[in-house]
A and B are shown apart, each in its own frame.
Chain A
C-alpha cells in the first residue's frame, strides 16, 4: 500500500520536476550564450527569496495567480477552455471598484458586496460564452477570445473614461482611474497572522487578506469537485457527455454552470490589487488571465498542484527583481524560464500519461494471462 502510494507520488511529481530541470538547463544555456553567469543569477534569486519581505511579495503575487489558475482549472475539468479569464477579471475588477466606491456599508458587508459584484460580473461574462456554446454551437475557445477583446478594448476602455474620479478628464489631464473605495470596503492585511510565527515584517510590506479568500476558494474547489454530486456530474459530463446525459445529467446545463463558476472565480483575480490600492488604476496588472491558464496546466488542475504552480511562477516573477539590481543577468530570463517550464511540463505530462497507460495495459494483459492459465 505504501509502496504504491510512493510510486504514485513519484510518478505524479516526476513530470513537473523534469520540466523544472529542463527549464533550468535551457535557461542556463541561454544565459551562458548571452554572457552571464547562470549560477550567480540563481544564487542571487534564491538568496533574495529567502528574505521574509520577498516571501510576502511572492505570496501577494501568487494569490491572484492561484485564483486565475483555479478559474481555468474549473473549465479544464469539464473539457472547456476558458481563455477569457483575462477579460473577465479586468472587467470585474473595474465594475467592482466603481460600484464599491458608490456605496457606504459596514465593513464586512462592504467587502462582501464588492466581492459579490466582481463574481457576478465575471460569472455573467463567462457564462455568456457558455450560453453561446450550448444554444448557438459557438466554440468557447473562439468566443472567449473574442469576448476578451470586447471586455478589455471595448467595455473596460469605455467605462474607465465614464467612471474616472472627478468626472471626465480632459485629454491633457490623463487617466487617473476610478474613485477610491472607502476604508470599510478594503480587506486589512494579515501581517499579524504571519508575525505570530515569524519576526516582524518590515519595509512596509503587507500580506494581502485575499490570500485567505484564495485558500477558501481552493478548499471549496476541492470539496465541490471531489466530494459532491455536482462535482461528480461535472467531471462525468466533461469525460463523456453522452454517457452522463444518459445518466440524467444535462450536458448543456453543465457547460453553462462550469463556465459561470469559472468566471466567478476569475472575477476575484483582480481583488488582490483592489483590496490593496482601493481603486481601478489606469494601468491595472494585466496578463494574469493567460498566466492562470499556464498555472492550471502546470498544476494539473489539482487544488494543491495549482497552488504550487502559482508559487513557482510568482517566485520567478518576484525574485527576478534582484537581477536588475545585482546585474547578474537580464531579469527577462525568468519569462523564458516560465515559458519553457510550461511547454516541457505539458509534454512531460503527456509522456507520463502514455507510460502509465502502457504499464496498465501490460499489467492487465498479465492478469488476463494468469486468469486464463488458472482456468485451464
Chain B
C-alpha cells in the first residue's frame, strides 16, 4: 500500500463493495476485496497494444490456468449482463431497458472494434505485425500541434517555454528551483538529532518491478530478502555486519531489512528497498503476507508538493539498529 499504511488499511475496509482482478493474490486484495477474479496473463490471451507510436496485436499462445478469464472478457460479460438487466436499467434511470453498450459477442470482436480505425481487423493485424502511423515532421510549422490549428507549440504562448507562464498565472515560481525536502537536516534539525541518517528509497533491483514478482522463484532467488545499503563507517558505528537484519526507524514507524554494507552510499545516507511483502507467509489477517515487516512506506507520508504534484517520497530521516533475536 502507499504511505501511511494504517490509514489506507482502514480506509480500504470502508467501501461497501470491492471487486479485484489480479494474476496473483496480494495483501491489498486479500484484506479489502469482497470478490477476487483471477485473470489470464499476457501469454494466455489475445490483446491489443496501442501506446506510444504503434498499434499491435498481442497473440496469446498458452492454455489458461484454472478458471482465469481475460480482463476484456470480464468487462464484456459484465457489460452484457448489465445491458440486459431490467432492474439495473430501472435503477440507473434508463427505463427504456435493454441496451447494447457492448454489443460484441466475443473478445476478438471487441479487439476488432478497438483497432478498426487502422483499417485492419484484429486478426489481420496479427498477421501484419505492428502498424505505424504516417510520420509527419515539423508539425509546429504546419499548425498540427495546437487545437486552434495555428503554427507553434501547444503552450499558452505557442512558444517553447523556458519559463512557464501557466505556473506564473497560478502564482508559482515560473522557473525550476531547488529547495530542501520537508524533513531533513536543514528543515527539521530537531528530528535530525534523534534520527541522524538520511534515508533514500525507490532505487530498483533487476529482480522485481515495485511490489511485483516476489512469488516468482527464478526472480526471488536473485534477491531473496530486502536489503538496505549502509556505508561501512555507519555500519561499524552500530556494530552492523553484512547480512544482519536491521530496523530502520523514524517518528512514523519502522521496517526491517538486511544490511548491505557498501561504499555504494555516502556516509550518513542509507538506501532502503520498497515494495516488499512475503507471499510465502500466512496471507490471512492480521499477518497479510507480512506486508508491514519490511514495508519502508511506514516511514514516509502522503504529502504532495505546493502545486499538488510531487511528494517527499524519496527521502526522510531515520536511525538504524540491529534486530534482536526476539524480533526474528
A binds B: no
Interface of B toward A, CB cutoff 8 Å: none
Interface of A toward B, CB cutoff 8 Å: none
